[in-house]
Amino acid sequence: MRRACVAGNWKMNNSVQESISLVKELVPGLDKIENVDSVICPPFIALAKVSDLIKDSKIELGAQNLYWEEHGAYTGEVSPGMVGEIAEHVILGHSERRAYFQDTDESVNKKILAALKVGLKPILCIGETLEENEKGRTGDVVKRQLTGALKNVSIEDFGKMMIAYEPVWAIGTGKAATAEGANQVIKEYVRDEVASLYSDDAAEKVRILYGGSVKPENAREYFQQPDIDGALVGGASLKADAFIQITEAAA
Ligand code: PGA
């Protein structure tokens, strides 16, 4: 049995002060919910403060990106070691990073290897665009993204990761994928590719989240699907009530 996980990707939202207020509302609500892992991923500048606020709670902390070099003259970047000192997880390969900040399968792979080296647990995001979906290329795209991102990642290290299947056309649009459709992609393409890259056992064990317009109103449908183990939530993770309700649905 895979343990459910609901992760909140705050994206470029919430100042340090706003992060503090949101976390203070989340802690009592999420601490009551059993059998689900809760992860929150605030912007870099709020990580240290949020880490202090959640240290006695069950909430786990994630970052939204990192750069693969250990240190040096890379103005504006944050290293794996810096993130790993504070957080446990890191979202890598998010479609917004791929679309606006030149992340490629190759750079995502470098980031994953660097994250694993310092003990961070990557949450690898994959998913097809609307155009790729309409051309029937979903399977090819997610398989290419997985193969590229996981190059030289050992089976032991892969065991520390989660995958988030996030169709790009469903992110922030209110047009969520159907639960059956998302489950089918995850089962037929994502788990299948993991089985061929690693093993049937690895494919059975890896936790795969769905992401894209998950809300309290539709969350339960996803969690009822056999191959969906939780959600990566954007917009609805910015409201304590909504995020707590989605996590309750996963329990
Ligand atoms: P959304 O974002 O829930 O706002 O669609 C999901 C994500 O980008 O992780």
231 lines ligand 1 (CB under 6 A): no
For 67-92, what is the mean pLDDT? 98
Question: What total number of domains does the chain contain?
Answer: 1
For 66-89, what is the mean pLDDT? 98
pLDDT at 1 over 90: no
* Residue 214 contacts residue 170 (beta carbons within 8 Å): no
Ligand 1 atom, smallest distance to 171 CA: 5
> How many other CB atoms sit within 10 Å of the CB of residue 38?
26
Is residue 94 part of the annotated active site? The answer reads yes
> Under 8 Å CB-to-CB from 203, ≥6 apart: which residues?
191, 192, 194, 195
φ/ψ of residue 189, rounded to 5:
-110, -50
Residue whose CB lies within 8 A of the most ligand 1 atoms, among 129, 217, 233, for a mutation test: 233
Ligand 1 atom, smallest distance to 172 CA: 5
**What is the structure's pLDDT at 59?**
98
Ligand 1 atom, smallest distance to 213 CA: 5
**What is the structure's pLDDT at 128?**
97
Residue pLDDT, tens place only, 13-68: 999 999 999 999 999 999 999 999 999 999 999 999 999 999 999 999 999 999 99
Residue pLDDT, tens place only, 136-156: 999 999 999 999 999 999 999
Q: What is the CA radius of gyration of the chain?
A: 17
Confidence of residue 98 (pLDDT cuts 50, 70, 90): very high
Higher pLDDT: 174 or 235? It is: 235
**What is the structure's pLDDT at 172?**
86
CA of 172 to the centre of ligand 1 (A): 5
Mean pLDDT of the chain: 97
**What is the structure's pLDDT at 174?**
86
pLDDT at 96 over 90: yes
CA of 56 to the centre of ligand 1 (A): 27
CA 180 to chain centre: 20
For 67-88, what is the mean pLDDT? 98
Q: Which range marks the domain in which residue 223 is found?
A: 4-250
Window from 25-29, 169-173, 194-198 with minimum mean pLDDT: 169-173
* Catalytically annotated residue among 96, 128, 166, 193: 166
CA of 12 to the centre of ligand 1 (A): 12
172 lines ligand 1 (CB under 6 A): yes
CA of 236 to the centre of ligand 1 (A): 8
**What is the structure's pLDDT at 246?**
98
Question: What span, in angstroms and rounded, lies between the C-alpha atoms of 49 and 23?
Answer: 10
Task: Output the domain CATH number for residue 208.
Answer: 3.20.20.70
* Catalytically annotated residue among 94, 128, 193, 221: 94
Which residue has the CA at smallest separation from atom 3 of ligand 1?
234
CA-wise closest residue to 26 among 13, 42, 12: 42
Percent of the chain with pLDDT over 70: 100
Q: What's the predicted TM-score (pTM) here?
A: 0.97
Question: What span, in angstroms and rounded, lies between the C-alpha atoms of 99 and 202?
Answer: 29
For the chain, where are the alpha helices, taking DSSP H only? 16-31, 44-54, 80-86, 95-100, 105-117, 130-134, 138-149, 155-158, 179-185, 192-197, 200-205, 219-223, 240-250
